[in-house]
């Protein structure tokens, strides 16, 4: 008896009623499921959960509009395929048909950005024993868009009707484990905090260099930077001198936190550079945009010295402009006598840069 999984990330948010996530479009262009939190996206974590539950095939269906051409960077899992489709409902029906033809009798269906740490096999056994076409899940906060369906019967099923079934069904599967619906950016922050505080089974990626401090591959933390547990520093990120990363903050991959800046109870999303001597508190920073969770407002910073994105790469014209700035900067720097130049010939220049942080957390 085969088991499949169909994951439709981001779609719940796109269908969310107006006003549920007013700041999302201003802050983020991608569905929350694609964003890395403590080193890995929830989509990646969810797929891994399906793979670990020995699901035979996992299909990730994404709409062109919904995904905006996003392709997750991970390809480590076998039996996982990504498909970009124009219309989701026929695509889901078709996928169920394909599963049925290839001997997969039941399939999980996951819509939206939900991250649920439920026992998938237990959910499947519950569904099989209930002998129903579809089994929906729910938790304390209400129904969830995580289902198990009978592939053969669900082909002829009206998916819209299925999704609109009464909110509390006696045949629903109750999830007691950790669930994050990831509807708003606030949920994203909560997930980061929960991961770092061990409120869920999943852990931040990378190495726990000290209790509660997770450092990913290639991250550089200046020895005079202070990282207070719990915190996460993503791969290839740089934490400069005299910075403070504290209170369940996560700095995702390829970020830079410059001199003297404080990051407190905040998430710095990937490819974000934060300038010198700033206070990023109770916020989510993404490129040059900052969502203040206290004030519930997104601000866009036009000054690249304060905040900026280092992704995507600049266009050729901009690159030339940048290059000219860099060359000017270098020329200016060349005029100054650097300590290395003042040293007598033959002596090795002082090694500068990042070294292993003593971690005062």
Partner 1 sequence: MSSKGPVIVMEAPEKLNHSEAQAFLAELQPLLQSDRPRIVLDCSQVQHMDSAGIEMLLSSMGEAMKRDGDIKLANLSPASGAILELMRVDRLFEIFETAEEATRSFQTVALPEVTPTLPWYSSGYGFADLKSAS
Binding residues for partner 1, rule: CB under 8 A, are 277-281, 283, 290, 292, 294-297, 299, 301-303, 305-306
Question: Least separation, in Å, of the C-beta of 8 and partner 1?
Answer: 34
Six-digit token pair at 6?
């169909």
CB of residue 300 to partner 1, shortest distance in Å: 9
- The smaller minimum CB distance to partner 1, of residues 297 and 319, is found at 297
Residue 23 C-beta: closest distance to partner 1, Å: 11
CB of 278 to partner 1, least distance (A): 5
Indicate the pairing of strand 289-292 with strand 104-111: unpaired
Least separation in angstroms between CB 279 and partner 1? 5
Question: Which tokens hold the place of 197?
Answer: 């505080």
Task: Dig out the tokens for 199 from the structure.
Answer: 């409120």
Instruction: Determine the distance from the C-alpha atom of residue 359 to the mean position of all C-alpha atoms in its chain, rounded to a whole number.
Output: 25
Q: Residue 25 or residue 64: which is nearer to partner 1 going by CB?
A: 25
DSSP H helices, the chain, are 11-14, 24-27, 42-52, 64-67, 88-101, 120-130, 151-154, 159-163, 185-197, 316-335, 339-342
Residue with smaller CB distance to partner 1, 92 or 298: 298
Q: In the β-sheet with 142-150, what is the strand arrangement from edge to edge?
A: 80-85, 57-63, 2-8, 104-111, 142-150, 134-139, 173-174
CB 336, min distance to partner 1, A: 25
Place of tokens 């950790």: 178
Instruction: Give the closest residue to 192 by CA, choosing from 174, 204, 183, 207.
Output: 204
SS3 99: helix
C-alpha span between 11 and 22 (Å, rounded):
16
Q: Which residue number, 212 or 275, has a Cβ lying nearer to partner 1?
A: 275
């Amino acid at each position: 008896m085969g088991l499949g999984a169909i994951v439709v990330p981001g779609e719940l948010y796109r269908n969310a009623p107006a006003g549920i996530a007013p700041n999302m479009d201003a802050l983020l262009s991608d569905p929350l499921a694609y964003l890395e939190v403590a080193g890995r996206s929830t989509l990646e974590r969810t797929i891994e959960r399906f793979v670990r539950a020995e699901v035979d095939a996992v299909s990730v269906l994404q709409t062109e509009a919904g995904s905006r051409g996003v392709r997750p960077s991970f390809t480590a899992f076998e039996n996982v395929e990504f498909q970009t489709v124009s219309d989701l409902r026929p695509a889901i029906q078709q996928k169920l048909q394909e599963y049925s033809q290839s001997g997969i009798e039941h399939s999980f269906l996951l819509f939206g950005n939900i991250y649920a740490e439920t026992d998938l096999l237990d959910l499947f056994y519950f569904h099989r024993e209930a002998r129903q076409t579809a089994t929906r899940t729910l938790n304390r906060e209400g129904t969830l868009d995580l289902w198990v369906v009978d592939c053969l019967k669900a082909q002829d099923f009206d998916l819209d009707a299925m999704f609109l079934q009464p909110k509390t069904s006696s045949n629903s599967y109750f999830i007691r484990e950790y669930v994050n619906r990831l509807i708003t950016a606030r949920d994203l922050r909560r997930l980061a905090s929960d991961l770092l505080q061990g409120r869920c089974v999943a852990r931040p990626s990378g190495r726990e260099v000290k209790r509660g401090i997770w450092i990913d591959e290639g991250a550089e933390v200046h020895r005079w930077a202070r990282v207070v547990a719990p915190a996460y520093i993503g791969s290839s990120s740089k934490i400069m001198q005299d910075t403070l990363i504290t209170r369940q903050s996560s700095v995702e991959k390829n970020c830079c936190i410059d001199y003297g800046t404080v990051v407190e109870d905040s998430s710095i999303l990937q490819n974000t550079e934060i300038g010198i001597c700033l206070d990023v508190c109770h916020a989510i920073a993404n490129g040059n945009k900052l969502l203040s969770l206290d004030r519930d407002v997104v601000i866009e910073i036009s000054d690249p010295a304060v905040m900026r994105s280092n992704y995507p790469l600049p266009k050729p014209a901009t690159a030339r402009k940048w290059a000219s700035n860099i060359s000017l900067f270098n020329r200016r720097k060349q005029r100054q006598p650097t300590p290395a130049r003042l040293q007598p010939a033959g002596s090795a220049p002082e090694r500068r840069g990042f070294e292993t942080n003593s971690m005062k957390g």
